[in-house]
Amino acid sequence: MSPASERLMARLNGLKPATAIVLGSGLGGLTGEIKNAIRIPYADLPGFPAGGVSGHASEVVAGLFADKPALMLAGRAHYYERGDPAAMRPVIEALAGAGIERLILTNAAGSLDPGMPPGSVMLIEDHINFSGTNPLIGEADDRRFVGMTQAYDVTLRKAFEQAAAASGTVLHKGVYMWFSGPSFETSAEIRMARLMGADAVGMSTVPEVILARFFGLRVAACSVITNLAAGMSGAELSHQETKDMAPLGGARLATLLRTMFREGFLDG
């Protein structure tokens, strides 16, 4: 067990959530819905990343979400911040060591489909790693050869679909392509991504999925669509636009998460 796992378990003081949620842009306010909240700054957990991107906080918040035990991570490290694809490894390892079984990842992404406009939510069914790197490079044994055929857990994806039906929320589905960032994609790269089968593009999540599978966690992920990708709208992209538009889709994703927990769909 890692030092971060030990400290996390100690600070949770007997609370044993089975599900952790990484909150991307537009979802940080969800931690305010946690009852009996235990707040742990990342700085108190060995190896956890310091905040480096505006719009992202840096704390663990655990307690009861929709009356069910849950752990939320407000903030993540991105590959483009320090050039380390395994920057989130201490976090994922700590979660696994502390008894987390399911990891739900969220992010802000650009849409390649005009029928999936800003404000939409996309359930990630698969991904394309176009970064040229992998967080498991350098692992010393054969555990590094992680199978990714079913990287996104079928049962957890069904839980999202059930929550969408129960709440009347439109839920798109598609393939997410990871670009390293921090610059946005070019119009030519977006045309290529579309030809390769991508439905949305972004700068996070894929390293965490790989690490979560490495540590034996079941994974689901959703994208909040904040913009149409480069070359699709005629406008230049910006991080400010991402922050401005994230709350719209974030509210829809928050509804899905509340419904999933409240109705017990995660236990199905």
**Does residue 11 lie in a domain region?**
yes
User: Does residue 73 lie in a domain region?
Assistant: yes
195, part of any domain: yes
**pTM for this prediction:** 0.94
Is 149 buried (19+), middle (13-18) or exposed (0-12) by CB count in 10 A? exposed
Close Cβ partners of 166 (under 8 Å, ≥ 6 residues apart):
259, 263, 265
Instruction: Spell out the per-residue pLDDT of the chain, length 268, in tens.
Output: 899 999 999 999 999 999 999 998 778 889 999 999 999 999 999 999 986 555 557 999 999 999 999 999 998 999 999 999 999 999 999 999 999 999 999 999 999 999 999 999 999 999 999 999 999 999 999 999 999 999 999 999 999 999 999 999 999 999 999 999 999 999 999 999 999 999 999 999 999 999 999 999 999 999 999 998 887 777 777 778 777 878 889 999 999 999 999 999 998 6
Question: What is the pLDDT at residue 236?
Answer: 73
Binding-site residues, in ranges, read: 25, 56, 76-78, 108, 185, 204, 227
- Binding site residue list for phosphate: 25, 56, 76-78, 108, 204
Q: Are 111 and 227 in contact (CB under 8 A)?
A: yes
Q: Does 43 reside within a domain?
A: yes
The annotation places the binding site for a purine D-ribonucleoside at 185, 227
20/42 Cα distance (integer angstroms): 15
Range of the domain at 16: 3-263
Structural domain tally of the chain? Answer: 1
pLDDT value at position 53? 56
DSSP code per residue over the chain = --HHHHHHHHHHTT---SEEEEE-TT-GGGGGG-EEEEEEEGGGSTTPPPP-STT---EEEEEEETTEEEEEEE----HHHHT-TTTTHHHHHHHHHTT--EEEEEEEEEES-TTS-TT-EEEEEEEEE-SS--TTTT--SGGG----TT-S-HHHHHHHHHHHHHHT---EEEEEEE---SSPPPHHHHHHHHHTT-SEEESSSHHHHHHHHHTT-EEEEEEEEEEEPTTSSSSPP-HHHHHHHHHHHHHHHHHHHHHHHHHTGGG-
With respect to residue 268, please indicate whether it lies within any of the assigned structural domains: no
Question: 79 lies in a domain?
Answer: yes
CATH of the domain at 102: 3.40.50.1580
